[in-house]
């Protein structure tokens, strides 16, 4: 890049997008001598987005048209496209970057194409191969792949999906998932919980078990089994304290609250924001969850994850040994959690495995690949 700065325009709209793009933005900010970075947000979920921007100290340069409630996909797509168009005209970027499979990302790739600007796709190559599931995300990511110039795949499986779609191998970079970079960035900072109960729970000296459960297939009886297992664990292990994050869904609450409310050493809490949740995972001894994201994040913090499901679309953690499928069978949950509480060799066997989803350096690899791509053209 002799003599001039590389101009990068980063675009994102939702909270998960912001979490996964933030580390890439921060990585570019380390190179002010080489890069002019511009951040545009589409404000799809404004409050949730602001939380994340504040956590990573990122100030957007452009705030595109606020999204309306209950808008149609066509309305959202056309508004985002018209909102981005003048920004690209003004910034004249060398490359536009967006992540994942939102409508914002698909639109950003289309707008780049109209302006003949290179497009880099972060978290490329995820597929279900079902056009309408997830809708519209599966086609958003497939169409984005057709328009993208550089593809940053989180895993080799994602790379294989892109190769099968005809993407040239020299345009695909396996980087790991930037969600791990974000997590480690936040976890490295000191934190005091505003919620006194939580602060007390994490500093009690007891072994903290973090529980989250919300999946539809666990509604009703399976969730009741999970609750009974949690009570049994607390009674069997006096050195255990439980924090149970309660999903907003009333169907979930009407099972969990009567079972666990006011039970000793069990704290039922409202679902925390991103930063406190990261610090809850960090403070915990082990995690029981049916959430997909937590299966990626727990292992990055060295926490064994017991998955309250019989199947998972994230088999890498189970194969590596960071996570174990225990389903919702009360006995099995109590038995497997009990092993981890009592046997340090069992615990270390899960806690000390390398995380298959990434090592925290994905954004560095993405930035390096972009520099190399443009550096080679001088």
Tell me, what's the pLDDT at 183? 96
Q: Please tell me whether residues 202 and 244 are part of one structural domain.
A: yes
pLDDT tens sequence for the chain (378 residues): 455 799 999 999 888 889 999 999 999 999 999 999 999 998 666 777 888 999 999 999 998 866 666 778 898 899 899 999 999 999 999 999 999 998 999 999 999 999 999 999 999 999 888 888 888 989 999 999 999 999 999 989 899 999 999 999 999 999 999 999 999 999 999 999 999 999 999 999 999 999 999 888 899 999 999 999 999 999 999 999 999 999 888 899 999 999 999 899 999 999 898 999 999 999 999 999 998 789 889 999 999 999 999 887 778 888 999 999 999 999 999 999 999 999 999 999 999 998 888 999 999 999 999 999 998 554
In a domain, residue 1? The reply is no
Q: For the chain, what is the largest distance between any 2 Cα atoms, rounded to a whole number of angstroms?
A: 68
Residue 259 forms part of a structural domain: yes
Catalytic residue among 101, 296, 297, 364: 101
CATH number of the domain residue 268 falls in: 3.40.50.2000
**101 an active-site residue?**
yes
Buried (b) or exposed (e) across 279-289, using 16+ Cβ within 10 A?
A: bbbbbbbbbbb
Residue 189 is assigned to a structural domain of this protein: no
5 assigned to active site: no
Q: Which position among 216, 221, 264, 319 bears the catalytic label? A: 216
214 is catalytic: yes
| Residue 69 confidence (pLDDT) | 66
Is 99 found in the same domain as 58? yes
Is 143 in the same domain as 286? Answer: no
Q: What is the pLDDT of residue 44?
A: 60
- Residue 378 has what pLDDT? 40
Q: How many domains does the chain have?
A: 2
Residue 275 near residue 191, CB atoms below 8 Å = yes
Cβ atoms of 42 and 13 within 8 Å: the answer is yes
- 137 catalytic, yes or no? yes
232 and 116 belong to one structural domain: no
Q: What is the pTM of this model?
A: 0.86
Structure token pair of residue 201: 């729970």
Q: Is residue 229 located within the same domain as residue 278?
A: yes
**CA 109 – CA 145 distance, rounded (Å):** 9
Whether 347 and 366 share a structural domain: no
Residues 136 and 227 occupy one common structural domain: no
Catalytic residue among 17, 123, 297, 336: 123
- Domain region containing 225: 196-351
Q: Clarify whether 141 is annotated catalytic.
A: no
d(CA 335, CA 176): 33
Catalytic residue among 31, 247, 253, 314: 247
Do residues 26 and 10 lie in contact, with contact meaning Cβ atoms separated by under 8 Å?
no
Tell whether 127 and 222 lie within a shared domain. no
Q: What is the pLDDT of residue 247?
A: 87
216 is catalytic: yes
């Amino acid at each position: 890049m002799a003599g001039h700065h590389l101009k990068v325009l980063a675009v994102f709209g939702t909270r998960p997008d912001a979490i996964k793009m933030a580390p890439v933005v921060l990585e570019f900010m380390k190179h002010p001598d080489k890069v002019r970075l511009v951040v545009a947000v589409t404000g799809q979920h404004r409050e949730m987005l602001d939380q994340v921007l504040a956590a990573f100290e990122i100030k957007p340069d452009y705030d595109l048209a606020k999204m309306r409630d209950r808008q149609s996909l066509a309305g959202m797509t056309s508004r985002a496209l018209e909102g981005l168009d003048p920004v690209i005209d003004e910034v004249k970027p060398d490359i536009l970057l967006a992540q994942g499979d939102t409508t914002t990302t698909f639109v950003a790739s289309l707008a780049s194409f109209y302006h003949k600007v290179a497009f880099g796709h972060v978290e490329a190559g995820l597929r279900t191969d079902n056009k309408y599931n997830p809708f519209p995300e599966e086609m958003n990511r497939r169409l984005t792949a057709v328009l993208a110039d550089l593809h940053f795949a989180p895993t080799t499986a994602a790379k294989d999906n892109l190769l099968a779609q005809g993407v040239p191998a020299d345009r695909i970079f396996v980087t790991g998932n930037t969600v791990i970079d974000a997590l480690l960035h936040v976890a490295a900072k000191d934190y005091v919980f505003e919620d006194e109960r939580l602060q007390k729970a994490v500093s009690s000296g007891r072994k903290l078990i973090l529980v989250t459960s919300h999946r539809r297939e666990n509604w009703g009886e399976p969730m009741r089994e999970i609750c009974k297992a949690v009570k049994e664990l607390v009674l069997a292990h006096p050195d255990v304290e439980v924090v149970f994050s309660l999903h907003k869904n009333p169907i979930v609450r009407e099972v969990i609250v009567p079972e666990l409310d006011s039970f000793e050493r069990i704290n039922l809490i409202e679902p925390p924001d991103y930063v406190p949740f990261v610090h809850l995972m960090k403070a915990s001894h082990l995690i029981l969850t049916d959430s997909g994201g937590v299966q990626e994040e727990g292992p990055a913090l060295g926490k064994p994850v017991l998955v309250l499901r019989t199947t998972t679309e994230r088999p890498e953690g189970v194969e590596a040994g960071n996570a174990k499928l225990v389903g919702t069978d009360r006995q099995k949950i109590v038995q497997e959690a009990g092993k981890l509480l009592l046997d340090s060799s069992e615990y270390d066997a899960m806690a000390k495995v390398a995380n298959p989803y990434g090592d925290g350096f994905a954004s560095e690899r993405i930035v390096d690949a972009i520099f190399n791509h443009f550096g080679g053209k001088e």
